Structure 1
Amino acid sequence: MKEEKLNDGKTLSYFTIEVDESCNETARNTTLLKEKHKHLNNFEVLAASSNATPIRSNNGLFYMCCFCTDQYTNPADLKTHTLMKHDTSEARRKFMRNQTSCNYVLKLDITQLKCKICDKSIDTLEGLLDHVQNEHKKFLYTDIKNSIFPLKFGGEKLQCAICHLDFKKYKMLIEHMHSHYRNYECEVCGFGCVNRRTLFTHKLSHKTGSFECSVCNKIFVTQQKVRQHFYAMHKHQSLVVKCAICDERFKSSVIKERHMVAKHGMTPEIYKCLACEKTFTTPNALSSHTRRIHLLDKRYPCKECEMTFFSGVELSYHMAKHTGKKEFQCEICSKWFSRKCGLYLHMHIHANDKRFTCTHCGRAFVHRNSWRAHVRSTHGEMAYKATFVQ
């Protein structure tokens, strides 16, 4: 520790630290190190002493390099690229110049983590920090909040390196990591996060009042909601979801996922039911299937009989049996129907849409039920079972 006498008679104390060679110049030229410089020192030590590599972001298909515009579908390829092309102090300093203390967070790939100095394998980030300090006498600042997310890749799923939970998407994993690094907490609800920027954004949800949209004058109860409304309805014309690769916008995440598969070659997400063998392409479809089939979630009861239904739409269709009310009329033959789907199926008759063909005799039918009845009555029970049961 060094001390200097200031003009007003006060004493200023500061440290000069002998750190890793790549940090010596910064340490000598900086007397009072700011938080950002302390993060840089720790990042420099970790990068120079281990094979841990940073990840800038993931756009849903590619992992982005922190130091250049290269991108890779496999994080292992990004790791190899980083260690081969950007394992220099200048590259790390250039990366840190783009960071701010209020939103700093380093996403560090610690897959197959090893110490470069002694080639020792280490399982955790905390183990690496202890190792380089105690075994190799590297200096790390411990008076700053830890803003490093350790990430491990290797299995088919993305797994948290701390609690080992599995995640379908990289974005969901990063959001989860905030729960392990509660550096800043909301005094209202106890929400914890890693940096000040995330906490500031969260706190907007607690500021209630009367907030008016500057375009349409619609009133919202929070600043956050009026901002979301403005961007969704006025700036982006309801196209609230953006493709991070080509910047095309979509109305929902489901439509964006289809775009990613069709245009960018992304492997479609498959959501498997844990209770049966069925699979689905969206989590909502899986949830609906689980509640309808396995949990028997029928919360819409009929007031006229004992039947219950999964949705209000199903209940409204059923009520037509009790009321006898027919609201849907065929414009061709004037026949009335109680359900819209009944009218839709009826229209196949006028279109002569015989989409169901008997494989035994070649006769075609407009409706499935007519086809099934034909096979059973004309070709027998064995033919019926061979066609519809097996």
Structure 2
Amino acid sequence: MTVDDVVDSISNDDCLDDLNDVADDADLQIKEEPTITDNTKSSKMIKRRPIEDIRAKKELMLRMKRTKEKLNKLKERDKTDRPIVTLVKKKTHVDKEYNAINNAITMIECSYVCPFFTIYSDYYCIYCKEMFTDADALRAHTLTHDPVTYKDVMDAKKNVLVDIDRIDCRLCQANIDNIDSLKCHLTKIHGKIINEETSNEFLKFKLRTGKMSCTECGRSFNFFQALRKHMAEHFGTYICDVCGAHYFEERLLTFHKKIHNPKDVKSFSCSECGKIFKSKKSRYLHIAKIHRNEPAYSCNKCDEVFFSYHLRYKHKIEEHGEHRVFPCENCDKVYNSRKSLREHNRKSHLLLLKHECSQCERKFYLPSQLKDHMTSHTGERNFRCEYCGKSYPRLKSLKVHMDSHNTEKRYKCGLCAASYTQLNNFKNHMKSKHQSMENGSQFS
């Protein structure tokens, strides 16, 4: 069989490799053999091969050239002979986030749901940024704003938070119990456009003083911040692939994943003292407060800046009229900060007394209280008055004593001419001298 017959018989791609091998072998065979010098003749006389061999060699080279050309044509045909892909027109992309925002705007404008935002566990009016700790006060205040302006103040990048204590329609007198009923009512009765394929337009809460329950599963929480964090378990779209924790924002998930790999946890050290911090903000506040003596806590309602959170807190109450009242659910005590209420609950109701005296087995909430108590066993009096030399076992007792050296007698009896520098002495006077009078009850 000739080389042409081999090429003509090629019908599939499997033969191409074999044909390439044949061509390579042929190339090896047609190489010219080295000329042989005839020693018996003159060195200039070269013995030549017969003419028939030369012609056969040229003919073989032409055939191989044609074979390679056919191989190239077959390869080109293989590239072009591919199956035709049918193009299918995709459906128009539906922007779920856009529809969710439009749905939220429509429902807030047409109902009594109360939009708000939070910083920690404080509630803020979405329209004017005024702060509230009482949910009823927040709802009453929000009604003074026109809901049509909501779209001008909303932040599309953040989750929409709404209180659904009241969902009634603003356009008519209809009483509505849930968000699904509100959507149906607004579309059928008032002709509003609500995208039915979109849900979870906002995070729904029923704000209460004290414990609050999740509107999805009923689980209770003592503070709003804990409830909001829990809502990510229902609606968070960023999920940890290690432990399954849910988050609303990608940055929170990224920060969470570092706990699974301690090597990824970044620390920020102070260049002045070497103290380590977990965030740049904490380091900045430390440097501004400790090393540079600069104010770093700014008021969100004016341009004032303060050296501490507590000074800013006091400023908001005195200058901007913010009222923070945190009543205890277990007794009649009322506090002006959430921290004070938390400390009260732990100490008085939960009885988290971890510090026990080794002498009498009394327990205390703070280690400093245990330390003061131990002086009753040791008899130590380490706090001495610089005026009269009297010593006391506790700093508090010394401070009370120091008032006796104050020439100003602040506590004056309204029933006689007696006056005192210490409140305890004044109370004792009222009990001993004016026991039958009820006026002293206001100091008890």
Give the structure-2-normalised TM-score.
Answer: 0.58
The residue type paired with residue 280 of structure 1 is: Y
Q: 2:102 aligns with which of 44, 51, 59?
A: 44
Aligned to 2:262: 208
Q: Which stretch shows the higher mean deviation, 170-179 or 353-362?
A: 170-179
Aligned 8 A contact 1:105 1:195 in 2: no
Aligned 8 A contact 1:355 1:366 in 2: yes
Structure 2: how far apart are the matches of 1:386 and 1:54?
47
* Structure 1 residues 113-152: aligned runs within 5 Å: 113-114=168-169, 122-129=176-183, 140=195, 142=197, 146=200, 148-150=202-204
Aligned 8 A contact 2:167 2:178 in 1: no
* Structure 1 residues 1-390: aligned runs within 5 Å: 9=85, 11-15=87-91, 31-33=92-94, 37-44=95-102, 47=105, 51=110, 57=117, 63-65=125-127, 74-82=141-149, 99=156, 105-107=159-161, 111-114=166-169, 122-129=176-183, 140=195, 142=197, 146=200, 148-150=202-204, 162=215, 175=229, 177-209=231-263, 211-213=266-268, 215-216=270-271, 218=274, 225-234=278-287, 242-246=298-302, 248-250=304-306, 254-266=310-322, 268-377=323-432, 379=433, 381-382=435-436, 387-388=440-441
Query: What SS does the aligned partner of 2:301 have?
Result: coil
Q: Structure 1 regions of 5+ residues with no counterpart?
A: 1-7, 16-30
Relative distance call for 1:325 and 1:290 in structure 2 (3 A) is: same
The residue type paired with residue 105 of structure 1 is: N
Higher relative contact order (CA 8 A, sep 6+): 1
Aligned 8 A contact 2:117 2:123 in 1: no
Q: Deviations over 1:151-200 (max 9, x none)?
A: 678x8899778358999998777555434413332234433233434433
Relative distance call for 1:341 and 1:236 in structure 2 (3 A) is: closer
Bigger Rg, structure 1 or 2: 2
Q: Deviations over 1:220-247 (max 9, x none)?
A: 6xxx923343343247879675433236
The residue type paired with residue 110 of structure 2 is: N
Query: What SS does the aligned partner of 2:397 have?
Result: helix
Tell me the CA shift for residue 323 of structure 1.
1.7
Equivalent residues, number: 339
Tell me the CA shift for residue 316 of structure 1.
1.8
Tell me the CA shift for residue 75 of structure 1.
2.3
Among the aligned pairs, what percent are the same residue? Answer: 23
Query: What SS does the aligned partner of 1:382 have?
Result: coil
Tell me the CA shift for residue 256 of structure 1.
3.6
Aligned to 1:19: none
Query: What SS does the aligned partner of 2:282 have?
Result: helix
Aligned 8 A contact 2:114 2:142 in 1: no
Structure 2: how far apart are the matches of 1:371 and 1:309?
30
Tell me the CA shift for residue 263 of structure 1.
1.9
The residue type paired with residue 80 of structure 1 is: P
Q: Structure 2 regions of 5+ residues with no counterpart?
A: 1-83, 131-137
Relative distance call for 1:352 and 1:228 in structure 2 (3 A) is: same
Relative distance call for 1:161 and 1:229 in structure 2 (3 A) is: closer
Query: What SS does the aligned partner of 1:259 have?
Result: helix
Relative distance call for 1:134 and 1:309 in structure 2 (3 A) is: same
Relative distance call for 1:107 and 1:365 in structure 2 (3 A) is: closer
Structure 1: how far apart are the matches of 2:205 and 2:312?
26
The residue type paired with residue 260 of structure 1 is: K
Structure 2: how far apart are the matches of 1:374 and 1:107?
57
